[in-house]
Every structure is written in structure tokens, then in C-alpha cells.
């Protein structure tokens, strides 16, 4: 089951867009085309090395997203601004493989449709009191699914629903996920409780620190 979920996660639309961008750039800017091919190769390398893994370190995930963002920056130039704020202690945490990139990819994909230029994406990753927080925010609006299409999730929902299923497999009842719009920003927030739950007794139940 985990591998099936992972396979369905690993069809990012940006690979097709990157391929088309490379084709267009080869004739007009060979240096940029070569740079994109190099970054794309590094991302594929991470994909192949981790394809059969259920979990990966967050540090590995961050490095893969860095390759992905280099590709997107080549495509979008000054139309995309991304900032990172990372707690170094969080890098050692183990998370579902390919947890981070789909969230950032959705922020760019849907943000480019609804945000003023440049699209701004902010990433905050912290580890405080046993709770790992991964927050990805972008300017723009939350795109709703079209009425009558039978979907309950926002248009962002397919890959994020897959992501939530893999979080459930690895951190059953110990995680939280929110996707919402506020003051011109769309926020995707993941909370994972890394503290062992307190033992249950007749006076109190186990406690969680995730929202």
C-alpha cells in the first residue's frame, strides 16, 4: 500500500513543463537549457534513490526541493520568489518520502494562477517541544473545485490527499494537516508529534500536541 501511494504521488506536472521549457530554450539559450537539464537530473537521481523507501530524512527532502526550485526559478525568472526559514534540528527528522516537494509544487502551480507577480512562497520548518511543523505559504487564492464535479477537496486536493494518507501510515493519529486562505495567502500546514504518547489510564487519555 505505501509504495502504491508513493507511485501515484510521483507524477509531478512540472516534469512535463520542464521538458517543454528545455525544448524551447535549446535554440535560444543553451546555457540555461543545460542548467535545467543538470538540475532535473539531480532531482531524478533523488527520485530513483528513494523510490522504494517509505521514509526519508527531512534534510534529504529539503535538498530535493532545492533542486526542484532551481528548475522552477529558471522557468519563471523574477516571477517567483521563495524564502526558507529552517530549524537545523528539524533536518534529522524522518518523514514520508516525497512529503515536502508536492506541497511546494502545489503552492507554485496554483499560486501562479491566482497571485500578483511575483508569486511569493515562504517555507517555515521548525521542531519545538517534540512537534515538527512544516508550513508552506504562497500569495494568491485557494482554488475551489468546480461545482458539480463530485469532489469534496479543493482543486489542490489530489496529491495532498495522497500525502495525508502516507502521513497516516507513518504517524497514525499523530499528525495534523490544514489548507486554508487568509489575508491574501494560502497556507499548507503540517504538524507531526514526535513525542511518544502518554500512557492511557482511567483518569486521562493520551495527549497530542498537534493542532
* Residue-wise pLDDT tens digits, 46-55: 766 666 678 8
Global confidence as pTM: 0.74
Cα–Cα nearest to 103, from 186, 43, 174, 21: 186
Question: For 100-131, what is each residue's pLDDT tens digit?
Answer: 888 998 999 899 999 999 999 999 999 999 99
What is the arrangement of strands in the sheet containing 131-139, beginning at the earlier edge strand? 80-86, 119-128, 131-139, 185-193, 175-182
Q: What value, to the nearest 5°, has the Cα angle with vertex 152 and ends 5 and 211?
A: 75
The helix-helix angle for 2-9 and 157-170 (nearest 10°) equals 150
Average pLDDT over residues 9-24: 61
Q: CA-CA distance, 192 to 169, in Å (whole number)?
A: 13
The pLDDT score that the predictor gives to residue 29 is 76
The CATH code belonging to domain 2-193 is: 3.30.565.10
Q: CA-CA distance, 127 to 192, in Å (whole number)?
A: 9
Contact 118, 78 (CB under 8 A): yes
Amino acid at each position: 500500500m505505501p509504495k502504491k501511494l508513493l507511485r501515484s504521488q510521483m507524477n509531478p506536472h512540472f516534469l512535463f513543463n520542464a521538458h517543454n521549457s528545455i525544448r524551447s530554450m535549446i535554440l535560444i539559450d543553451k546555457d540555461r537549457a543545460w542548467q535545467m537539464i543538470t538540475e532535473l537530473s539531480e532531482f531524478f537521481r533523488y527520485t530513483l534513490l528513494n523510490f522504494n523507501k517509505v521514509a526519508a530524512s527531512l534534510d534529504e527532502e529539503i535538498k530535493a526541493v532545492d533542486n526542484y526550485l532551481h528548475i522552477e526559478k529558471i522557468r519563471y525568472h523574477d516571477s517567483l520568489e521563495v524564502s526558507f526559514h529552517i530549524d537545523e534540528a528539524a533536518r534529522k527528522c524522518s518523514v514520508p518520502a516525497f512529503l515536502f516537494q508536492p506541497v511546494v509544487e502545489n503552492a507554485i502551480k496554483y499560486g501562479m494562477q491566482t497571485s500578483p507577480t511575483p508569486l511569493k512562497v515562504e517555507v517555515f520548518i521548525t521542531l519545538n517541544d517534540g512537534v515538527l511543523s512544516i508550513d508552506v505559504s504562497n500569495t494568491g487564492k485557494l482554488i475551489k473545485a468546480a461545482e458539480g464535479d463530485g469532489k469534496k477537496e479543493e482543486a489542490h486536493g489530489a496529491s495532498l490527499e495522497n500525502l495525508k494518507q502516507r502521513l497516516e501510515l507513518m504517524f497514525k493519529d499523530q499528525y495534523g494537516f490544514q489548507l486554508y486562505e487568509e489575508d491574501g495567502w494560502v497556507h499548507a500546514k503540517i504538524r507531526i508529534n514526535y513525542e511518544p504518547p502518554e500512557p492511557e489510564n482511567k483518569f486521562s487519555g493520551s495527549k497530542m500536541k498537534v493542532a
